[in-house]
């Protein structure tokens, strides 16, 4: 079960590179600001804008500075204010990044910039889309105010808003957070990430579908890191794992783990990776052939083994096993063996005569073959109560037996042989109401506690992530796609939407 931690929140820090063009064009500015050259413009003139004096650079504007070049329809420098604005089909190029936006405003006195309209930031294989982005140079914090879409070769991230903290290389996204790629999908209400440590936290009504590892999750909080650690919590955190050969995840060939805390770890070697899954607090496990309740649990996917602690109970067909510690090993989806100690108690319900067969001792081992009970072996102060049937299949009393060890053999679920080793003390119990209600010391039978297959499937809240953007692509960006990415699968669909 992988952690989905491969989603990376890429930095919009390239926004700061556009700041170097923000000066009075053609005029030497104050110390710390760089010179911008006008490579092309239809005209340059003085004038006013909304009552303020401005210098206007108009028509097919092409500017260049030491670190970037910019194209736009017009740029205004406010004479009496620490403010510069650019408008229309803006494209900013650096050696490694490109930015497109409809308008750009920079407040030089506070080092604060605003990107508005159709904002697109491209760096390497990462592209970020937004409507409103604020950036403050002094604190290196970017604020995405209205819709975010991040695309890279691995997948897509969507959110309503968020912050990026450049110095800490961290990000916070809020509102309808969705992350998806070809094999995984996850959603929540907010996301915190630190790219350096590959640490991620997702909050609020979480749903995840990992098709690569045939699993789904649901909870209130998810935490992952670079080691493969994944912590899922909630009042009813839920991990659902499919059998690897199933094609229909709605069928009952799955394993469900529900608890208040589910911790997944990875043990990595050169040969393979083993997933270890811990459950804590009110653990309930269900699979087609095995179910359990316990205070805590541990699952190893390499050995396909469940270990249960603390008032543990397991059920298989009509058998309930209770003990402080229970180990259940599965094979090809069927139960293969059960172990329990100290002083486990096993009850087998015989529905044909409405009796509860019982056995207890210091240690119990049960073996299965092709999913059917084959043998029960109990040793250390073993005590057996077994009800019998006559030739007509009716109740015919029972046997109460103690011995150092007892073995019971089954075929197709029916008892075929029983062996008691060492000093044996036993008696036959005639059929009676008293015999029918007989219980050994330590008896426990709780069929109502048996977990059932969840009736309602896990469901996502948000609509599927599509290739559609929340705005039409600007002309300069479409030209960039045609020139730089002519084979892009998204070019045609984006072009059609932008027409």
d(CA 99, CA 50): 27
d(CA 403, CA 361): 9
Q: pTM (2 decimals)?
A: 0.82
Q: What is the DSSP string of 403-434?
A: EEEEEEEEETTEEEEEEEESS-EEEEE-SSHH
pLDDT score, position 492 = 58
pLDDT score, position 175 = 96
Contact (CB, 8 A) for 264 and 1 = yes
More confident residue, 327 or 243: 327
Least confident of 34-38, 286-290, 359-363, 381-385: 34-38
More confident residue, 459 or 141: 459
DSSP state of 26: T
d(CA 295, CA 324): 10
Is a pLDDT exceeding 90 seen at residue 293?
Answer: yes
Q: Give the pLDDT band of residue 493 (cuts 50, 70, 90).
A: low
More confident residue, 298 or 29: 298
CB-based contacts of 430: which residues, under 8 Å, 6+ apart? 397
Could you read off the pLDDT of 358-391 as tens digits, one per residue?
999 999 999 988 878 899 999 999 999 999 988 8
d(CA 156, CA 478): 20
Average pLDDT over residues 477-499: 68
pLDDT score, position 138 = 65
Indicate the domain borders of the chain.
344-441, 466-499
pLDDT score, position 494 = 54
More confident residue, 210 or 10: 210
pLDDT score, position 487 = 67
Q: What is the mean pLDDT of the chain?
A: 83
pLDDT score, position 253 = 60
Could you read off the pLDDT of 311-347 as tens digits, one per residue?
999 998 889 999 999 999 988 778 899 999 999 999 9
Is a pLDDT exceeding 50 seen at residue 14?
Answer: no
Is a pLDDT exceeding 70 seen at residue 38?
Answer: yes
Q: Is the dihedral of CA 91, 92, 94, 99 positive or negative?
A: negative
Q: Give the pLDDT band of residue 60 (cuts 50, 70, 90).
A: very high
Is a pLDDT exceeding 70 seen at residue 83?
Answer: yes
More confident residue, 212 or 44: 44
Contact (CB, 8 A) for 148 and 155 = no
Is a pLDDT exceeding 50 seen at residue 30?
Answer: no
More confident residue, 483 or 359: 359
Contact (CB, 8 A) for 114 and 134 = yes
Per-residue CA distances from 175 to 4, 182, 200, 401 (Å):
19, 23, 16, 65
Contact (CB, 8 A) for 472 and 118 = yes
Could you read off the pLDDT of 103-139 as tens digits, one per residue?
988 776 776 788 899 989 887 777 889 999 887 756 7
Is a pLDDT exceeding 70 seen at residue 177?
Answer: yes
CB-based contacts of 164: which residues, under 8 Å, 6+ apart? 9, 11, 12, 13, 141, 142, 144, 170, 171
pLDDT score, position 110 = 77
Angle, vertex CA 15, rays to CA 9 and CA 17, nearest 5: 130
Could you read off the pLDDT of 461-482 as tens digits, one per residue?
999 998 889 899 999 999 988 8
pLDDT score, position 489 = 59
d(CA 286, CA 295): 15
pLDDT score, position 403 = 95
DSSP state of 269: -
- Please give the share of the chain, as a percent, with pLDDT higher than 70: 86
């Amino acid at each position: 079960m992988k952690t989905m931690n491969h989603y990376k929140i890429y930095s919009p820090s390239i926004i700061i590179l556009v700041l170097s063009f923000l000066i009075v064009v053609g005029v030497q500015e104050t110390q710390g600001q760089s010179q911008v050259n006008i490579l092309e413009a239809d005209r340059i003139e003085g004038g006013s804008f909304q009552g303020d004096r401005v210098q206007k650079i108009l028509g097919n504007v092409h500017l260049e500075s030491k670190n970037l070049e910019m194209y736009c329809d017009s740029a205004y420098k406010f004479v009496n204010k620490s403010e510069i604005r650019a408008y229309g089909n803006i494209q900013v190029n650096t050696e490694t990044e490109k930015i497109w936006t409809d308008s750009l405003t920079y407040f030089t006195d506070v080092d604060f910039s605003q990107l508005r309209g159709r904002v697109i930031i491209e760096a390497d294989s990462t592209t970020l889309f937004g409507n409103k982005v604020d950036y403050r140079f002094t604190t290196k914090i970017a604020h995405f105010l209205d819709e975010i879409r991040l695309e890279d070769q691995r997948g897509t991230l969507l959110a309503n808003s968020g912050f990026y903290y450049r110095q800490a290389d961290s990000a916070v996204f809020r509102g309808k957070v969705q992350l998806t790629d070809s094999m995984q999908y996850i959603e929540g209400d907010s996301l915190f990430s630190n790219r350096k440590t590959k640490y991620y936290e997702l909050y609020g009504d979480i749903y995840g579908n990992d098709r690569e590892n045939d699993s789904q999750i649901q909870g209130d909080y998810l935490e992952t890191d670079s080691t493969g650690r994944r912590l899922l919590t909630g009042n009813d955190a839920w991990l659902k794992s499919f059998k690897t050969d199933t094609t229909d995840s709605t069928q009952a060939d799955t394993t469900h783990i529900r608890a208040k805390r589910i911790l997944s770890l990875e043990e990595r070697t050169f040969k393979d990776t083993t997933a270890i899954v811990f459950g804590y607090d009110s653990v309930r496990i269900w699979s087609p052939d095995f179910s359990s309740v316990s205070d805590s649990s541990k699952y190893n996917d390499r050995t396909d083994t469940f270990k249960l602690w603390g008032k543990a109970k397991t059920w298989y067909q009509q058998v309930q096993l209770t003990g402080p510690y229970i180990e259940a090993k599965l094979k090809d989806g069927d139960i293969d063996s059960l172990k329990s100690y100290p002083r486990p108690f096993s009850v087998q319900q015989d529905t044909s005569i409405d009796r509860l067969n019982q056995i207890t001792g210091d240690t119990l081992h049960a073996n299965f073959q092709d999913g059917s009970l084959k043998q029960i072996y109990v040793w250390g102060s073993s005590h057996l109560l077994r009800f019998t049937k006559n030739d007509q299949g009716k109740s015919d009393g029972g046997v109460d037996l103690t011995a150092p060890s007892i073995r019971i053999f089954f075929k197709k679920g029916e008892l075929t042989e029983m062996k008691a080793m060492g000093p044996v003390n036993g008696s036959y119990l005639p059929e009676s109401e008293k015999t029918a209600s007989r219980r050994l010391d330590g008896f426990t039978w709780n069929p109502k506690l048996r977990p059932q297959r969840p009736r309602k499937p896990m469901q996502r809240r948000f609509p599927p992530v599509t290739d559609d953007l929340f705005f039409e692509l600007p002309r300069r960006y479409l030209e960039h796609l045609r020139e730089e990415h002519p084979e892009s699968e998204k070019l045609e669909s984006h072009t059609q939407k932008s027409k």
